[in-house]
Structure 1
Amino acid sequence: MRLKKARVTNYRSVVDSGWFDIESAKTIMVGPNEAGKTAVLQALQQINPPADVVKFDALRDYPRSKYNDITTGRVDPKDVTVVEVEFELDEDDKAAIPESMRNARYARGRRLDNQPWRTLRDAPALPTYAGIEKELTRLCAHIDPRAETKTPGGAAPSAGLTAITTGWTTTTTIDGERATALKTWLDAALPLIDETNETEDKRFDNLVAATRVHLDLQAALDVLDKRVPIFVLFNNYFRVKPLIQLDHLAQRLATNVLDDSQYDYGNVCLLKLLGFTAQQLSDLGKAVPPPANQPAALQTYRDQLDKRSYQLNAASVQLTDEIRAVWRPREGRAEADKLRIVADGQYLKVVVEDDLGVEIELHQRSEGFQWLVSFFVVFFAEAAGKHQNAILLLDEPGLSLHGLKQREFRSTISRLAEKNQAIYTTHSPFLVGPDELDLVRVVDMTERRAGTKVHTTVMSGDPAALLPLQEALGYDLAQSLFTQERNLVLEGLTDYWYLDATSALLRAANLTFLNEKIALVPAASAGKVVYYATILYAQQFKVAALLDSDSAGDQAAQQETLTHTLGNKGILRTKDAYTGPVTKPEIEDLLRDTLVTIAKDSLGIDVTTEATNQAGRPIVDLLSAANSSFSKYKLAKAYIRWTRDHTANDLSPAELAQFQTLIEKIHKALK
């Protein structure tokens, strides 16, 4: 199963985050300091945390401004849901639960008193007594006489039913013990039903189905509860000590007296990764070899030492391989450093061996390298080693990594997210890819009383919250402006998304797709296209511009500077590829049929009838008129998501032809 959406309420700075979507692979949270990003991750972990994670504490975790409600008894912790989530079931999950529950949404939460709850939303409704009372009465009228015939003077089945239903009202739901008791009564009544009477036979089946709703619901919940992924939170305070005194650590763990729980957490994870407890490694360090005349004892002793050596070596190799993927060797060096975990008496050491064979303790390496080692130790110990479907929560990962290594670590997160959903917070533009803005959730707190809010769309009342996104786009733009020989300047980011995502569909279908050597440069608005085009042209690159055929595009296309720079052949208009009746088409009109469906299914805006009756009106105008809160950004984002689960064959023939024509014209302009 995959986490689909989440909500945090009444936790530290979070009064109500609002529901926010979680991506199927990785989700990026950005926002300024003190916005509440860490609080959101900490609350999420409580859905299903690893063992020994500190639980909710009303004194520490309930919003301080509202804590008086707890002390006065106006609010009971057992009534306060702090975090709730919804999961999307995969095919394996659905196959494991009753068929009647397979279209439901599995939701789970945890209250302030640390008690979890779970439910299935959109599951078949539990029947009430009012819905089956008449059917039960009619069934009794059918079986009571037949029971009297078989057992004269015996208790009528209706008497047993009365004993079960005493105290039931019209609103009583058929669940729990009530469902079980009624099912037992129906099983006993089955032999009394005339098998040739189709009406009574069908009535019996319907009543049994009413009792099965609760039983199926409970069976589904019991199965899904066991499949909930573990939530692993990693923050920058977790560190693996380069030198662990095993005897002392074993004593602290045995007495639960830790000098620094966050610091020791990394050490405990290292031991989990190795497959030993601190006490076991300590005992091995104290062990004295038996005499040579005791071969059996000597062999046991050697086996223990070999097992320790082999497991330490296997863990060292695993960590080295992962770290090398990010911490790549500098130019001129044959290979990256090797990580070694060495047991020496009562000490467990983490050392780094360089290309000369020199061993250096971990703490003598850079902060960034230490952080990376600690991250992989915690992840493999708490997630990969035990759960293939963990949810990884990273709080400001890689702060001490160089910007370029952060970009490489971003790829590492993407790789881990293929099997383990990842949610991470960041201030760094290097951890937000230019093609990942649809994965971003903006966290802000514009007003203390309102608390932390999480926005699924890239919007915020606090400009500082968007700074990492602006920096990421600026960095990528600066890189792309002077690296590609051929450049296509677009009006905005949504144009970039439509063109890039549709080209990917065409490429997968072996149709005409956009040349990968052409850089797509979003200019933020039609009016700014001329600036980007001029700068690129001045660098003697090949440049073309794609403009919508609306008023803003017309105005930009008529700028003397742009026409002088690019010439008429270098200025492409959406109407050049569009074949429909819209007189001033925008890029969205090239995907009109598909976007009408996506707007209905994903945004809840249904303009199917209007799109047919007003075929000459731009699709964006229709959607804006139907819903005042319509956003071109939301529509483009929904289209990107749609392309992940669809192919080019799912586009209409007109859409395929229009986009292939557009791409051919782009190639011609930039040949």
Structure 2
Amino acid sequence: MELKAFQVENFRSIDQSEWINIDDVTALIGTNESGKTNLLSALWKLNPVSNDGKINLLSDAPRKLYSQLRASDKSTIFIRCKFELNENEVQHISKLRRTPIEGLKFTTVCRKYNSGYTVDFPDEKLSNLSSLIFQNLITSKIEIIKNLQLLKSENEEKREKFLNTFEIIDLEFQSPIVDKARLEKCLSLLEDIFDEKAPKTSELTKVYNDTHEFISSHLSNVEKPTSEELQKSRNYIIEQLPNFVYYSNYGNLDSEIYLPHVIENLERTDLGAKESAKVKTLKVLFDYVKLEPKDILDLGRTESKADIDLSTDEIEIKAAEKKERSVLLQSASTELTSKFRDWWKQGEYRFRFEADGNHFRIWVSDDKRPEDIELEGRSTGLQWFLSFYLTFLVESKDAHKNSILLLDEPGLSLHPLAQKDLSLFFGNLSKTNQILYTTHSPFLVDSNHLNQVKAVYIQDDGTTNISSNLRANEGNPSQTKSIYPVHAALGLSVSEMLFNNCTPVLVEGPSDQIYLSAIKTLLISFGELTPKKDIIFIPSGGTRGVKPIVSLLTGKNDELPIVLLDGDSQGSKMAEALRKDLYQDTPNSILIVSEIIGMDQAEIEDLIPPSIMKKLSRYQLRSNNPDSDFEDCYVKDSPILKQLEEFAVTNEITLEKGWKVEFAKLVKNHLLKISRDKISEDTISTWKALFSKLI
């Protein structure tokens, strides 16, 4: 199962967050004290591997609710997660719940402060049957009854009795949906006309038997599962939950591991957050080498006076134990060296564990520096990565494919280039493990995948919220500070692009970036576009952000970047201003969607075939009115985005913050799966015309 979205409520600084969609890699950005760690902690406590992630009402409950929760049964939910099940899981749940597989693709798992879980299947369809198959059967049987040849022992009164009963049953099946109660009622009506003494050769008896058997055979399809079966399905989901592995910089291995203090701290329960995190990492380390700290302490000690009085046999036993522990350390060193190379590509590191008196030391060497150097003599970046790696390796119990990594401020001590490598590493690791991390560093924000970035900010009432819309709560000055890493990442990305000879194109927002990237990919795959330089679309955060970012995108030869704007009033005004000012010598570098498409007020969304937009709008704009459908009110050759928004207002549909980005992602995923014959030649021509101007 794969995590798709989560929501946190009644947890520390969070009253109720938005539902946040999760990618393979998801970055949470925000200012200090905005609540990023609280969001990760709530997720961690859904299914933590270690006891450190157990629920603690005193530290986890919001202060204003603590007394209320403490006095209650603590059944308050604090984390909700939506998971997508794989095919095998869906099949298994379908059997347990006796429910069609179509409605079991997603499950919602919640956890309460009393450690209990709730499991729901929001799209589950009741096992009801269409009445049409029964209507056809009963209608045909009525005709047979009217025209069949009665036996000599039968009379017209019996025929009339059958006809009356079947006509009543026919009325029961006028409802479009057939449930268990309706089928049982029809079987009861049939049994009222059953005649045990009727000859087997009777046509009426044959009609009765056929009908009774047909209805009975479908009864099992609508039988509800027992409470025990339902509980088994919920238990199965809990068993399949991925492990959540949490790691913060607090847990970095100390530069020097003093065993007497370690042994003492492992027994303590009154440690602060930082010391607890370090103890957790040390537990992980000793689990990895498969030795207790006391055993390692004994291994590092020299002979004492007490050893002088030992017998020969006792000395041999002690020597054998010491040798075995030493071999275990060597074996663990070799294993760590081998596995670590598969993870970190910054160098070919070799590790060696050693017991030295009261100290446990980790020695490190590499190809460039072959001599052994203690871990504390190497970079803090290497110390962080080794600590994180050990935590993940041990806590996930090698079940890497069923673990979700929660990293709090990863790689702060890494060099910027190493942070970029770490970002690439996250991309590779995400093939087997979903990753959520918090960061302030622009080097850990992937500007090519801004849809993976979520903004965490403090609301006016002091509580924490999170949004996929990087401009959410933009009226609050603290929000601008929250998303600063994104702006910085864009600047870094732009500089890198220029050095790599790419063609940057400035667009208004992330949704524009998503649509245009999809179109570019399709044109290249269709063989209609062969750019000599890659085309990168840079969102500016709206028309107001265009001018500031233009300066960043200007190359060494002072060549201004191409700007692509919507044809609405804001886009047209900005285009006119740019052509009169910065772009007065190169007005053709300012492109407006309306001029490309030939539609007044057109926006980027109008580049997508309307048939696709209308189809996918059903998922985005779900109306409570079954008679209201966007396709019915769509106006051809008119900007579709404004129509979608007007439809939402008319039908009282709430459009969540960031809905345009989420809808763009939905459209992009659909586009990349369809073949060329599903897209008209007129649309292809429009796309080619646009990209010829961009190139």
Give the TM-score normalised by the residue count of structure 1.
Answer: 0.77
Which one of the candidate residues 438, 443, 446 is aligned to 2:459?
Answer: 446
* In the alignment, structure 1 residue 120 sits paired with structure 2 residue 121: yes
Alignment of structure 1 residues 416-565 onto 2, 5 Å? 416-448=429-461, 451-458=463-470, 459-460=472-473, 461=476, 462-463=478-479, 464-480=481-497, 484=501, 486-512=503-529, 514-524=531-541, 536=554, 539-541=557-559, 543-558=561-576, 559-561=579-581, 564-565=584-585
- Deviation of 1:42 after TM superposition, in Å, equals 1.0
Q: CA deviation at 1:244?
A: 4.4
Aligned to 2:83: 87
* One of 307, 318, 337 as aligned partner of 1:316: 337
Question: Match for residue 34 of structure 2?
Answer: 35
Aligned length: 602
The equivalent residue for 2:18 is 18
**Does residue 249 of structure 2 align to residue 236 of structure 1?**
yes
1:163 paired residue number: none
Any idea what the Cα deviations from partners look like across 1:244-290, whole Å, max 9, x if unmatched? 466875687589898943212112212333455556666777899x9
Give yes or no for contact 2:290–2:328 (8 Å, CA) kept in 1. no
The 3-state SS of whatever aligns with 1:98 is helix
Is this contact kept in 2: 1:620–1:632, CA < 8 A? Answer: no
Between stretches 366-375 and 537-546, larger displacement belongs to 537-546
8 Å CA contact retained: 2:445, 2:486: yes
**Other structure's SS at 2:615 match:** helix
Which residue of structure 2 aligns with residue 110 of structure 1? 111
In the TM superposition, residue 489 of structure 1 has moved relative to its aligned partner by 4.0
The aligned residue for residue 64 of structure 2 is: 65
Counterpart in the other structure of 1:167 = none
Deviates more, 1:406-415 or 1:639-648: 639-648
Range 351-360 or range 118-127, more displaced: 118-127
Aligned-partner SS, 2:49: coil
- What is the deviation of 1:491? 4.6
| Gap regions ≥5 residues in structure 2 | 129-177, 198-206, 624-628
Distance 1:630 1:520 in 2: 26
Deviations 1:512-563 (A, max 9, x none): 2554444545455557767766883772437544344444555455534456
SS in 1 for 2:401: coil
Question: How many Å separate the matches in 2 of 1:322 and 1:302?
Answer: 31
Q: What's the CA shift for 1:212?
A: 3.5
Q: 1:596 to 1:337 in 2, by over 3 A?
A: same
| 196 and 39 in structure 1: CA distance in 2 versus 1, 3 angstrom threshold | same
Match of 2:586 in 1: 566
Alpha carbons of structure 1 residues 205 and 283: separation in structure 2 relative to 1, 3 Å: farther
Name the CA shift for 1:509/1:53 in 2 (closer, same or farther; >3 Å).
farther
* CA pair 388-664 structure 1, distance change in 2 beyond 3 A: same
Q: For 2:373 and 2:493, how far apart are their aligned partners in 1?
A: 37
Q: Secondary structure at the match of 1:226?
A: helix
Letter in structure 1 aligned against 2:283: V
Distance 2:630 2:288 in 1: 55
Selected match of 1:225 from 213, 217, 238? 238
How far residue 436 of structure 1 moved from its aligned partner, in angstroms, is 2.4
Distance in 1, Cα, partners of 2:68 & 2:404: 33
TM-score by structure 2 length?
0.74
Identity of aligned residues (%): 25
Aligned mates of 1:528, 1:14 — CA distance in 2: 31
- Mapping of residues 95-494 of structure 1, within 5 Å: 95-98=91-94, 100=99, 102=101, 103-104=103-104, 105-125=106-126, 132=180, 196-199=209-212, 202-203=215-216, 205-206=218-219, 209-212=222-225, 217-244=230-257, 260-278=275-293, 306=327, 308-323=329-344, 325=345, 328=346, 337-342=349-354, 348-354=360-366, 355-383=368-396, 385-448=398-461, 451-458=463-470, 459-460=472-473, 461=476, 462-463=478-479, 464-480=481-497, 484=501, 486-494=503-511
Q: Is 2:250–2:278's contact at 8 Å kept on the other side of the alignment? A: yes
> What amino acid is aligned across from residue 337 of structure 2 in structure 1?
S
CA distance in 2, matches of 1:618, 1:47: 44
Task: Select the residue among 632, 636, 648 that pairs with 1:615.
Answer: 636
Q: CA deviation at 1:211?
A: 3.7
- Following TM superposition, by how much is the alpha carbon of 1:200 offset from its aligned partner in structure 2, in angstroms? 5.2
Could you tell me how far 1:390 is from its partner in structure 2?
A: 0.6
Deviation at 1:382, TM superposition (A): 1.6
CA distance in 1, matches of 2:241, 2:300: 39
Distance 2:187 2:461 in 1: 61
Give distance in 2, aligned partners of 1:85 and 1:201: 42
Once the two structures are superposed, residues 485-517 of structure 1 have per-residue CA deviations (whole angstroms, 9 ceiling, x without a partner) of: 754444554433322232123334444255444
Q: C-alpha offsets along residues 150-181 of structure 1, whole Å, 9 cap, x if unaligned?
A: xxxxxxxxxxxxxxxxxxxxxxxxxxxxxxxx
Contact 1:491–1:529 (CA<8 Å) still a contact in 2?
Answer: yes
Read off the aligned partner of 1:43 and give its amino acid letter.
A
2:690 alignment partner in structure 1: 662
Residue 374 of structure 1: how far off its partner (Å): 0.9
For 2:499 and 2:360, the matched residues in 1 are separated by: 50
Q: Deviations over 1:9-44 (max 9, x none)?
A: 222212222322222x01111222222211111111
- The aligned residue for residue 659 of structure 2 is 634
Measure how far apart 1:391 and its partner are. Answer: 0.8
Kindly state the Cα deviation for residue 622 of structure 1 after the two structures are TM-superposed: 1.3
Structure 1: where are the runs of 5+ without partners?
A: 150-193, 329-334
| Partner amino acid, structure 2, of 1:121 | P
One-letter identity of the residue aligned with 1:388 = K
Residues 540 and 117 of structure 1: CA distance in aligned 2, closer, same or farther (over 3 Å): closer
Q: Equivalent residue of 2:686, what SS?
A: helix
CA distance in 2, matches of 1:588, 1:596: 11
1:595 is matched by which residue type in structure 2?
Answer: M
Write the letter of the residue equivalent to 1:11. Answer: F
Distance 1:142 1:527 in 2: 74
Give the direction of change, closer, same or farther, for the CA distance of 1:590–1:94 in structure 2 (3 Å limit).
Answer: same
Deviations along 1:276-315, one digit per CA (max 9) or x if unpaired, are 5556666777899x999xx999999988765653332011
Give the equivalent residue in structure 2 for 1:173: none
Q: Does 1:601 align with 2:637?
A: no
Q: Which amino acid aligns with 1:224?
A: I
